Structures are given as C-alpha cells and as structure tokens.
Structure 1
C-alpha cells in the first residue's frame, strides 16, 4: 500500500514522507516543486528516493489532482494533506490567493477523495484554530479566528468534519504549531524565524519588527512529523482533532540566548516589541499522548537547537 502526500516537499511534509518511506511505505508526493527536487537540499529524502513517486500538481488544479489520485487509487491507503500557505504578516498581502490555497485546496482534496472512494485523510491543520485563547489549549477549546490564516484552518477542519459525517469518510485533523528544524534554512524564512534561529546558519544583523514579547510552543519538525504519522497509521481513533506539538512554551528572547550560548557568540539580533502573531500557547497534547502514544522527543528546545545546528552545518551552502 502507498500514501499520497500533498505538499510532500514542504518542511513538515518532507519529513512525513521520509518517516513513512523508512517504515516501508511507497510515498506519492504531490507538490508544485517536484521539478526542482534536486535543488531543494532535502538530503534526507535521497536516502529513501526509491520509495518516492514525484507528481507535479497545484492543489488548486482540481482536474490534475483528480487524474493523479485516480491513477494511484487502487494502491492508496489514504492521503495526508499538507499544502498550506503558512501564517505570518505576508498572508494578508495576497488574501484571495492564500485563502484559496488553504481553504479551497483542502476542499479539492476532500472532494477528490470522496469521488474516488479514498476514505482516510489526515489534514495538517494548526493551533491557529484557537486564536488568542489562553493556553494550554485543548481540543475542546472553541474555535476562534484572530487572523485570516486561522480562518482558513478552521474552514478546512470544518470541511473535513462534515465530509466525515455526511459521506462516512475518516478525516482527521492534526493541529500543528510553530515548527523549526532540519529541512528549512532560516535564511529562507520570515524575519522572526531568522532572528530566533538564523545565527545557527551564520546569519547576523537580523532586525525583526516584532516578536520580542511572546512565548510560543515551538516544535521540532521530527516530532511534528512523528505525530502526523502516528495519527495516520492508527487504525481507529476516538477523536478527530489532535494537537501535535511539543506542549512546552518557550520565550522568544530565551531562544535568542540559547542560540548565542550554543554558537559561542551573540549575533546582532533585534526583535521588536509585541507578538509575532496573535496566539496563545502552549497546546495541550495530552490527548495525542494518550490515544496515539505521541511522545515528543525535543521537549527541551536546547536539544532541538543542537540537532538543527548539526543539520545546518552538514548542509552548508
């Protein structure tokens, strides 16, 4: 059997693909970037390249998505949907495009799966569905959108829940939070991410306009991927929404200090006042721990930073 991952070359999706392939699964990666696969620097996927099938598709191109899923339908165990424009100040600059990718893209995947009889779908959602509700936020915390990104994630979840109820599908939502780690260079990310993690890559003079007055639940990408794989591979679940994160809040300025201690010098990093995005933290991960046996490895972010640094040094450009 095989698993199809939309956005399988993204930061989280690529590690989900890696873990599934290491477990012996054939993984069909649907991603607009497959034609640049050799230039993406995803060295870990080379290890499992023989287990991967690469398909170039835009999640908004319903017809191509349908053709690809139809071609692989008879071997598919299910679909993991990971295509998403991430949260950040840029999201509201192109609202129609970004909302379409996140909300309509999710709807396209669900509808294609419905028509083709592919019943099992794990949707990569977000802790943004809780908005600025005070942490720890459990799966019973009511929906609250405090930005457009959060609204798209709420919409995607509700689509999935209604497809489950109406058509008997098995759609599960993995509520992820702020992810860091191997597979994504800080220099390719937004300014706050660069300020927090950039010195590990050798970046200096990073000036972010905000983010200093915030503590968030940062999760190592290996832990995020592990939680998604566990959710997908669980035969039956008693719930449909699961928080997948470290479950630990870390102050942004503390991360800056940890990185400085690690590399042995202080880079010229400035985080401006206020939060990066309007979120509460941390996520309560007790449900995933109990039902999925999800146990994040990097609950001490210093260990996660060391792992990230090793990867950046071994993949220096």
Structure 2
C-alpha cells in the first residue's frame, strides 16, 4: 500500500514524503514539478528515492489526475493534500487562478478519493482560518477569513468535511502556520522571509516594507512534517482539526537579528513597521500535544536557525 501526496515536492510536502518513506512507506508524489525533481535541490529525498514514485500532474487537469490515480488503483490508502498558492501580498494579484488551484484542485483530489475509494484524506489547512483573531487560537473557534488565501482554507475545510460525511471518507484537517527551514532557500521567498532568513544564505540589504512589529510562531519544517505524519497515523480523529505549529511567537526583527548573528554579523537587513500578515499568534497546540503526542523540537528559534544554516551551507 502507498500514500499519495499532492504537492509532494513543496516545502512541507517533500518533508512529509521524506519522513514516510524513511520509515518504509511507499509514497506517490503528485506534483507538476515531478518531471525534473532532481533540479529542485530537495536533497532529503535522494536517500529515500527507492520508496518514491512521481506523477507530474497539474491538479486542475482532471483527466490526467484521474488517469494517474487510476494507475495506482487499489494501492493508495491515503491522500495528503498539500498543494497551495501560499499567503502573501501577491495572492490577490491573480485571485481566480490562485483560488482555483487551492480549492478546485482540492475538490478534484477529493473526487478522486470518492471514485477510487481511498479511505483517508489529510487536508493541509492553515491557521489562516482564524484570520486576525488574537493569539491562543484553539480549534473550536469559529472560522474567520480576513483575506482571499484564508477564504480558500476555510472553504477547503468545510468542503473536505462534507465530502467525508457524505461519502464515508476519513477527513482530517491540519492547520499549519508559518514554516521555515531546509528545503527552501530564502532567496526564493517573499520579502519578509528574505529579510528574516536571508543572511543565512549570504543575502544582503534586503528590506521588507512591513512586519517588524509583528510576532508569529514560525515553525521549523521538520516539526511541521512530524505533526502531519502524527495526524495521518492517529486513530479516532476523523473529522477533527489540529493546530500544527511551534506554539511560540517570536518577533520578526528578533528572528532577523538572530539569523545575522549566526551568519557572522550585519547584513544590512531591515523590516518596516506594522504587520506583514493579518494574523494572530501563537496558535494553541495543546490538542495536538494531547491527542497526537506532537511535541515540536525547534521551539527555540536560534536552534532552528542553526539547523537551517547547516542545510543552506551544504547547498553551496
């Protein structure tokens, strides 16, 4: 049997694929970039490549998606949905396309689960379902979307749960938050991320227009993947949502300064005032700790940054 990961070459999805394959699971990665995954710098997948199969599928191409799922019919026992255009100021520049990818794409995967009788569906949702509610958000709070990205996540959770109830699919929602770490270079990310983490890559003089007065719980990608795998493994949690994050809020300028210290000194980075995202932090992860035995390792940001720096240095 195998597990299908949609978006399995993404930052989070690739680490979920790694962790599952490393323990002996067969993983099928459905990702539009699968045709040339070796060029993506995902070195953590190389050691487990014998457990991986790759399907270069655009999630909006329903015909190909169904055709390639059918090629594995009877062998896929669970789907992890991890495809998403991430939150940020650019999301609203192409709203229809981005909403299609995030929500219609997920519906295509849910429909495949229904037709091909795949029993478990783990939806990688987001703390964006809480909008700008203050920190300490628990999973029983009502949804509040404060941007288009958040609206896709609210919609996805509701649609996935209704598919589950209507067609007998075991649906679980993992509410992830802000992720950093190995597998994604700072230079490939948005301005705030580049300003905070870019010194580790040797970037200089990056300025983010805002975000300096905000503290969010940035979660190391290894911890994020660990929480998702724990949710996939858990029993008797069908229909449940879980916050998966570090559970610790750290000011953005403090992260930037810590990264510069690790990189050897001032790199000319700067972050403007105010908030970059309409979000509160930290998420309350008590439920995940209790029911999933999820305990994040990198709750001290400097420890996580050093691990990230080690990975970046190996890429050079």
TM-score bracket relative to the smaller structure: over 0.9
Q: Which residue of 2 aligns with 1:267?
A: 267
Q: Is the 8 A contact 2:202 2:263 kept in 1?
A: no
Cα distance in structure 2, aligned partners of 1:259 and 1:21? 31
Q: Which residue of 1 aligns with 2:23?
A: 23
Q: Which moved more, 1:166-175 or 1:181-190?
A: 166-175
State the aligned residue count.
316
Residues 1:77 and 2:77 aligned together: yes
Q: Which residue of 2 aligns with 1:50?
A: 50
Q: Which residue of 2 aligns with 1:193?
A: 193
Cα distance in structure 1, aligned partners of 2:119 and 2:110? 9
Q: Which residue of 2 aligns with 1:209?
A: 209
Cα distance in structure 2, aligned partners of 1:280 and 1:96? 26
Residues 1:282 and 2:287 aligned together: no
CA apart distance, 1:239: 5.4
Q: Which residue of 2 aligns with 1:146?
A: 146
CA apart distance, 1:62: 1.2
CA RMSD of aligned residues (A): 0.9
Q: Which residue of 2 aligns with 1:65?
A: 65
Q: Which residue of 2 aligns with 1:129?
A: 129
Cα distance in structure 2, aligned partners of 1:266 and 1:239? 48
SS of the equivalent of 1:73 reads coil
Query: Structure 1: which 5+ runs fail to align?
Result: none
Q: Which residue of 1 aligns with 2:170?
A: 170
Q: Which residue of 2 aligns with 1:295?
A: 295
CA apart distance, 1:204: 0.2
Q: Is the 8 A contact 2:209 2:273 kept in 1?
A: yes
Cα distance in structure 1, aligned partners of 2:226 and 2:74? 26
CA apart distance, 1:218: 0.3
SS of the equivalent of 2:73 reads helix
Query: Structure 2: which 5+ runs fail to align?
Result: none
CA apart distance, 1:238: 6.2
Deviations for 1:179-205, whole angstroms, at most 9, x for unmatched residues? 000000000001100000000000001
Deviations for 1:23-45, whole angstroms, at most 9, x for unmatched residues? 10010000000112121001110
* TM-score, length of structure 1 as denominator length: 0.98
SS of the equivalent of 1:84 reads coil
CA apart distance, 1:259: 1.3
CA apart distance, 1:166: 1.3
Q: Which residue of 2 aligns with 1:243?
A: 243
SS of the equivalent of 2:302 reads helix
**Which aligned segments of 4 or more residues in structure 1 are displaced greater than 6 angstroms?**
none
Cα distance in structure 2, aligned partners of 1:197 and 1:257? 9
Distance 1:246 1:126, change over 3 A: same
Q: Which residue of 1 aligns with 2:113?
A: 113
CA apart distance, 1:260: 2.0
Cα distance in structure 2, aligned partners of 1:95 and 1:181? 28
Cα distance in structure 1, aligned partners of 2:118 and 2:239? 20
Deviations for 1:164-184, whole angstroms, at most 9, x for unmatched residues? 111121010000000000000
Cα distance in structure 2, aligned partners of 1:292 and 1:70? 32
